[in-house]
Structure 1
């Protein structure tokens, strides 16, 4: 896609996240790869629900000083850059703080990947990233360390980072994560036991169901 096409899709995504309770206020930032040299990310302090064309900054993957132009890129650029550098197939990165997912990130809850079709695929691997200050080089490096192990990272006491092979898939993964966390917490409150699928059923689904191509993990 061209830069303008990428920006158009990210604008729709920001609005989507707000409409479906996956983002709030000016918390969160989203980006998408343009090519193997650069990516587009929301500017610092933007409101995801009302993004304009000039609320984005083009950043290089090969320069420490990211971005150029009148607006500064999101301070969370180190996280996004770490993902794109570590995972060449990744096309979009969403950082947000949905209520239930963030609650899980601020706790020791284990997120289920064996409840239903979408959790089996989108939540197959989740990793936790210990707290580092938002926007710091340390957080970027902590994300880089976990980037190849999962497509969903719980940023402890911060929020979540979701990345996938397209903007649409990343959006679906984020919504699936929030739904699973909501179900998990609601079930615990109501003392409703939820049956998990057996490991062999999950493996058979991922290998043979043809729901989506199975992910190729780097580790």
Structure 2
């Protein structure tokens, strides 16, 4: 990201944000949610800008020089001499532009979640507590070439109604109020998909909770306030 961008952001919030992104990248790599330089992550700086990983960066070895500061209005870098942003900026820009409540976007290709994105399986959101909360709204996005404006538009068409998007034959996109919640949603998605495919392989029938129980949990359990995706 460099000293110039840090100066633009303000030293303390700028440093805190890139360090949170760095820690998120390490978490994803350490927990099998990313591999090598596959994937890209971002966080909103303010109403007009966001930080995103630079092109070709390794998720487990991010430094302040590995982030580009981009415009939410255009998606383009606001620092011409800075690092080149990830080619997937159209997806991130589309989410931030559409959803002012979203402050973090994670794009990755975890093994089981990507398997689900390449197949036709529905993601179980009625098996355990975290799935009920984080996977209540999951949408599929038809395949478009990575980095294309078409993919950004396809994501934008689905992003208002969900915090988890399966990018068909590509990977997943998770967005949330902050990096911690986005990371948890991504990990929950991968766990649910792993459970789904492991159960199929073992011939085990999973027993989902009833719709009434799920609705009661989301509205009455006091676990957390129910999310209002799409409203």
Structure 2 length normalisation: TM-score?
Answer: 0.92
| Partner of residue 56 from structure 1, selected from 54, 67, 84 | 67
- 1:116-195 matched pairs, under 5 angstroms: 116-195=128-207
Q: Shift in Å at residue 66 of structure 1?
A: 3.2
CA distance, structure 1, for counterparts of residue 75 and residue 110 of structure 2: 30
Q: Shift in Å at residue 89 of structure 1?
A: 0.7
On the 8 A contact 1:9/1:167 being kept in 2, the answer is yes
| Partner of residue 45 from structure 1, selected from 40, 56, 80 | 56
CA distance, structure 2, for counterparts of residue 210 and residue 183 of structure 1: 26
Q: Shift in Å at residue 70 of structure 1?
A: 3.0
Superposed CA offset, 1:15-59 (max 9, x none): 010001000011100000011111100000000000011000111
- 1:6-25 matched pairs, under 5 angstroms: 6-25=17-36
Q: Shift in Å at residue 2 of structure 1?
A: 1.3
What secondary structure sits across from 1:49 in the alignment?
coil
What secondary structure sits across from 1:50 in the alignment?
coil
CA distance, structure 2, for counterparts of residue 101 and residue 200 of structure 1: 27
Gaps of 5+ in 1: none
Gaps of 5+ in 2: 1-11
What secondary structure sits across from 1:149 in the alignment?
coil
CA distance, structure 2, for counterparts of residue 62 and residue 146 of structure 1: 19
CA distance, structure 2, for counterparts of residue 44 and residue 67 of structure 1: 15
- Check if 1:87 corresponds to 2:122: no
- 1:21-32 matched pairs, under 5 angstroms: 21-32=32-43
- Check if 1:78 corresponds to 2:90: yes
CA distance, structure 2, for counterparts of residue 187 and residue 63 of structure 1: 44
On the 8 A contact 2:68/2:82 being kept in 1, the answer is no
Structure 1 residues 164 and 83 mapped into 2: Cα distance closer, same or farther (>3 Å)?
A: same
Superposed CA offset, 1:110-158 (max 9, x none): 1100001000000001000000000000000000000011100000000
Q: Shift in Å at residue 67 of structure 1?
A: 4.0
